[in-house]
Structure 1
Amino acid sequence: MQSRKAKQPIRTARAAWLAASAVLLSLTAPLTAAATTSPPALRWSECAGQGLDPRQRCATVEVPLDHADPSGPTIDVVISRIPAENPAERRGVLLLIPGGPGGTSLADPSGKGQRLPQGVRDTYDLVGFAPRGMAPSTSVSCGLDRADLATTRLRPWPAADGSVTETMATARRMADACARNGGELMRHISTADEARDLDRIRAALGERRLSAWGVSYGTYVGAVYGQLFPHRVDRVVLDSNDDPDPRRVGRGWLAAHERGVEDVFPEFAAWASAPGNPNRVAESADEVRPLFLRLAARLDHEPIPWPGANPEVLDGNVLRQAMLDSLYSPSRFPALAKLMLAAGNGTVPPAPAAPPESVLQNVTAVGAATLCNDVAWPTSADAYQREVAVSREEYPLTAGMPRNAMLCAAWPHPPKQAPVRITDEGPSRFLLVQNVRDVATPLSGAQRLRAALGGRAVMVTVDSTGHDVYLTNGNACGDDTVSRFLETGIRPAEDAFCPREPSVG
């Protein structure tokens, strides 16, 4: 058990974390007495890290290690803030909820927050935070072997023949390391815990309500917060939306990649076969998919050494993972094309840069704890083997990975509570924005969140490609709709559609 002040020596790690992050990316519950009492005044100080807006300041909010024991041990959650630029127009705070799980928004007031329209920046204090477990908040690590930090281990790709035997062994090894090295905090990292931390942040800031912009996994956090504290939400934008299915939660998000890849790959194929493209891989779009599948199958049996990468080999699953990563945004398409061209010639490009190992350990631990603590995963290898076989047949591009066993299959701790069920009970203060083609949070899952929220939400569907819609991979129609809502509270009267914009050039 951790000491009453469950803190770690995190101050010296703060600068390294922030620098790396610039490269990386139940039913409604009543407010607890602890959430409504007057908190101590926040002590704002300079934020550690490089490239931050000089206006951004940081502070620490003390929260319970276990929200079921509010008078017990505490941990720190570090927050950041840039004040509203027009105090006369100030409405409150806009909380920037990061994706992940395993993401942080601590630098976002200085980063993506500065891309917000002037009217939004005039209206809100921009507030970011490092969720519980993420440095420089009280942090965790599983102390995994370097090989187990490879993305192809963290995303459970089956063997070339579809076997899950090795991934089950990996799951046991990684889960054992997390249980051995993660400490008590690992048992108290979940979406519900994060949502309750957000209400502590709200109270510490002295706000009656929170406005928020949640992206990817942050949409689920935002929805859960709105379910637990419905009268504490003001204007909430949920961007690139997770399926809230309480039976599956993170299992469903992983499975969604097979649909997401099928939605986006045709866009890559059209781009990668376009005349004049210096990274053209085929003469026609119809050739790109079979070319990719043949290349991945060849690399399954004839991998190419890749010094400096993790793993230090380009095999079929490393190519498939690179494909999945590259479909997050059209701006990443060239990386996949270049890798395919190199591999087709029996070579590899320079190894991709990786963040410091300490950052990878931290991100991995928080992501694992959240996914595994939110909902119980099957523990039987046979259950995963059956699902992987079906997935490989129906979705060959992802080769069974989305239904395979990650370390949650061997997680030693049962969930503390059932996942929060998102319902249509509560004020109507949500605006969902969603691209038609999104590899990580496909439209089908966003539609389920929209249905769960019912009359509490309006959804704007944007005929665009990529993960993260607002100000990134959407279009002017969608961006203008979101900006208007944040500035004025005006939403479309009903669900709306933003048509595809013509290509420029």
Structure 2
Amino acid sequence: MRKGSAVAVAAVALTSLGVGPAEATGRGPTPQVAWKTCPAYSDEVLLAIGVPDDRLPAVRAQLDRMECGTVSVPLDHREPGGRRIDVAITRLKALDQAHRLGSLAVNPGGPGGSGYLMGVQIGTLTNDEAARLGDRYDLIGFDPRGVGYSTHVDCAPPHREGEPPTGPITKEAAKADYDLEVAFNKSCGDSDPEFLRQLTTENVARDLDLVRAALHERKLSFLGVSWGTWLGAVYRSEFPASAGRVFLDSVAPPHFRIDEFEDGRAMAAERDSTRLVAWLARFDDTYGLGATPERVRATILAMVRDFDANPRHYTDLPRAVDGEIIAVSAAQPSRAWPLVGQVLKALRESTGPTAPPVFKDVVEGPPQTPPPPGAPEPVNRTMNQAAFCNEDPSRLDFEHAWADFRQRLAANPVTGRSLRFSAGCAGWPLPVQEYRLRRGTGSLVLVGHRHESVSVFEWTAEMKAAVGGRTYTVEDDVHGSVLRVPECSADLVEYFTTGRIDGGCQGVPLPDGPDAPGPTGLTAAGLDLTTG
């Protein structure tokens, strides 16, 4: 909700944000932006990265305004005179230069997610309210070190022979997966240890402060989603005098261990499934899964057990279908619930020999084609692995990893089978570099989504206890949805314009019935450390 005119507080905002000459906070040469010609993107590339055909002209207009450059930063900030790497940035200058409030860096998550074109996306692919962010701020997109147009390396992903076995994973199969992941982690970490050991959130935050100085900004405001919330918290903690207004959507936990991270996500997915079964019960005439939440839950549990005991071998699908897909369906956010109901109904009633059409469409999805030449890298998996593993102190051996996984399965009977066993960072050969956040007093908004399972709602309160700030609650289960919902986006823009914000917004509403539009596919919960 908009609370009033932003123009009336422009003078106060300019003073509070400290717009003026900037100084570098570290040792070494004063950073500069090496401005250069931006990459050229064909229509084929823009369509491939998700630009709808009818939005191509608007995106092209933003790309024509975009400025591109690099900032040279130390690979190791403790040795500013040593090896240097490039951080790629973009800038979309504020439309209202007379009332400009400074620069606003944006990050979509990860770690390893590219934010190079995020300013363009905010201006053209969100909603009219969110697009107003670019009225009075220069929007600064960037690829963190290790990603995209910035200096990066790539480890080849681990190769698994054959299809995974059907049914719940056995301890023997889990040990084979564990050994494979340990071998990959060691091979990757040893491939370029000088570079990979420097892929940490703290180093990205230090890079960002050099970007701020290179842009001649005394303060830098920040908008982060998912892992970007951890980056924003670290930046504010490390550079309290440089951080302007900071807005963090779908907040990460203040202390990171992959085992605890996955425990929290698993718990939240199971908890949100109670809302799913209540919604499906409302439409029992359509789905036939049960007229009460208790009956729907019992139906889903029975289907998980039945499909695990008797996997379905459909002649038009390459792999048997077991209880995992039932649990994956039950772990979906609310936008997908109409599709979830269709899939569960179709699988429950299926007699073969071919797969139910709605399920086959979900499994096969749209045709997968390699990205066209010139497409930007959306996420760098090596940066994702290195940043997590450099900061994760768990490094579990197999017996502890297996025990944790079995406990997660037992604690989450409806959605637990959507989880896959993983070694996490076991075998990563580089030293642990934990970062401890410090409490600050600067302007900060922490956004928690009450029902989501990717960034668990409780993490918002934990982060506030660690760093301060104020909380803003979104009453949905959709990860990072503030930029997608006009009501919430208006609050976000009001905050960056005036520093004021209320307590929350409704977010993405529940589907109003079985025919409500939604996504065309299902995504397994908790299978990917990349959350942006």
| Contact 1:388-1:401 within 8 A present in 2 as well | no
Structure 2 counterparts to residues 298-447 of structure 1, below 5 A: 298-304=306-312, 314-317=321-324, 319-321=326-328, 323-324=330-331, 326-327=332-333, 330-344=334-348, 345=350, 347=355, 348-350=359-361, 351-353=364-366, 354=368, 356=370, 363-399=380-416, 405-415=422-432, 417=433, 419-424=434-439, 426-447=440-461
| 2:137 paired with 1:124 | yes
CA distance in 2, matches of 1:490, 1:89: 18
CA displacement, residues 319-362 of structure 1 (integer Å, 9 cap, x when unaligned): 545654x32xx323344444434543252413134574999996
Counterpart of 2:479, as a letter, is H
Does residue 267 in structure 1 map to residue 275 in structure 2? yes
Secondary structure at the aligned position of 1:434 is classed as: strand
Q: Cα–Cα, structure 1 residues 79 and 278, in superposed 2: closer, same or farther, change >3 Å?
A: farther
Which runs of 5 or more structure 1 residues have no equivalent in the other structure? 1-29
Map Cα deviations across residues 348-400 of structure 1 (whole Å, 9 max, x no partner): 41313457499999632221111111122233222223323332222223438
- Please say which of residues 162-171 and 124-133 is displaced more in the overlay: 162-171
Given the alignment of the two structures, is residue 461 of structure 1 paired with residue 455 of structure 2, yes or no?
Answer: no
| Contact 2:449/2:475, CA 8 A, preserved across alignment | yes
- Give the structure 1 partner of residue 483 of structure 2: 471
Change (3 A) 1:95 1:388: same
**Contact 1:140 1:183 (C-alpha < 8 Å) held by counterparts:** no
Deviations 1:429-470 (A, max 9, x none): 10112221111111111110011123xx01112322321131
Q: Which moved more, 1:248-257 or 1:78-87?
A: 248-257
Structure 2 contact 32–71 (Cα < 8 Å) conserved: no
Distance 2:76 2:411 in 1: 42
Larger C-alpha radius of gyration, 1 or 2?
A: 2
Q: What amino acid maps onto 2:426 in structure 1?
A: A
For 1:191, the aligned partner's letter is T
Relative to 1, partners in 2 of residues 1:41 and 1:275: Cα closer, same or farther, differing over 3 Å?
Answer: closer
Pick from 78, 94, 100 the counterpart of residue 84 of structure 1.
94
Deviations for 1:4-58, whole angstroms, at most 9, x for unmatched residues?
xxxxxxxxxxxxxxxxxxxxxxxxxx93223xx5323431422343254332232
SS at structure 2 position matched to 1:464: coil
Q: Distance in 2 between matches of 1:316 and 1:137?
A: 42
Shift in alpha-carbon separation, 1:218–1:281, aligned structure 2, 3 A: farther
Shift of 1:277: 8.6
Equivalent position to 1:105, from 115, 118, 132: 115
Contact 1:162 1:388 in 2 (8 A): no
> 1:137 is matched by which residue type in structure 2?
S
Letter of the 1:421 partner, please give it. Answer: R
For the Cα contact (< 8 Å) 1:76–1:137, is it kept in 2? Answer: yes
Cα distance between partner residues in 1 of 2:316 and 2:308: 20
Q: Is contact 1:299-1:316 (8 Å) kept?
A: yes
Residue number among 23, 34, 37 corresponding to 1:42 in the alignment: 34
| In structure 1, distance between residues paired with 2:91 and 2:313 | 45
Q: Secondary structure at the match of 2:436?
A: coil
- The aligned counterpart of 2:147 is 134
- Counterpart position of 1:14: none
2:147 is paired with a residue whose SS is: coil
Q: What is the root-mean-square deviation of aligned Cα atoms in Å?
A: 3.6
Cα distance in 1, alignment partners of residues 490 and 250 from structure 2? 16
2:31, 2:376 → 1: CA distance? 31
* SS of alignment partner, residue 437 of structure 1: coil
CA displacement at 1:291 relative to structure 2: 3.0
Separation in 2, partners of 1:39, 1:235? 23
Q: In the superposition, relative to structure 1, how do residues 203 and 299 fare at CA in structure 2: closer, same or farther (>3 Å)? A: farther
1:59 and 1:80 in contact (8 A); partners too = yes
Structure 2 CA distance for partners of 1:147 and 1:382, relative to 1, 3 Å: closer
1:379–1:103 CA distance, 2 compared to 1 (3 A): same
**CA shift at 1:98, angstroms?**
1.8
Deviates more, 1:354-363 or 1:58-67: 354-363
From 258, 267, 270, the counterpart of 2:266: 258
In 1, the alpha carbon distance for the partners of 2:141 and 2:316 equals: 34
Q: Deviations over 1:468-488 (max 9, x none)?
A: 131336x83x44432221111
Structure 2 distance, partners of 1:216, 1:446, is 12
Aligned counterpart in structure 2 of residue 485 of structure 1, from 491, 495, 498: 495
Q: Measure the CA separation in 2 of the matches of 1:149 and 1:172.
A: 19
User: Structure 1 residues 177 and 300 mapped into 2: Cα distance closer, same or farther (>3 Å)?
Assistant: farther
| Contact 2:335 2:511 survives alignment (8 Å) | no
Aligned length: 454
| Conserved 8 A contact 2:401-2:423 | no
Higher relative contact order (CA closer than 8 Å, sequence separation 6+): 2
Q: Distance in 1 between matches of 2:316 and 2:217?
A: 48
Q: Report how far residue 124 of structure 1 moved.
A: 0.5
**Counterpart in the other structure of 2:85:** 75
Instruction: Report % sequence identity.
Output: 26
User: Does structure 1 conserve the Cα–Cα contact (< 8 Å) formed by 2:284 and 2:291?
Assistant: no
Q: Distance in 2 between matches of 1:502 and 1:121?
A: 27
C-alpha spacing 1:78/1:397, structure 2 compared with 1 (3 Å)? farther
Aligned to 1:215: 225
Per the alignment, do residues 222 and 336 of structure 1 end up closer, same or farther by CA in structure 2, a change over 3 Å counting? same
Of 157, 173, 184, which aligns to 1:174?
A: 184
Contact 2:33–2:70 (CA under 8 A) maintained in structure 1 = no
| Distance in 2 (alpha carbons) for counterparts of 1:368 and 1:285 | 39
AA partner of residue 207 (structure 1) = E
Paired residue secondary structure (2:261): helix
Give 1:222 shift.
Answer: 0.3
Letter in 2 for 1:120: L
Query: Does the C-alpha gap of structure 1 residues 460 and 138 become closer, same or farther in structure 2, counting only changes over 3 Å?
Result: same
Aligned counterparts of 1:268 and 1:169: Cα–Cα separation in 2: 37
Q: What's the counterpart of residue 194 of structure 1?
A: 204
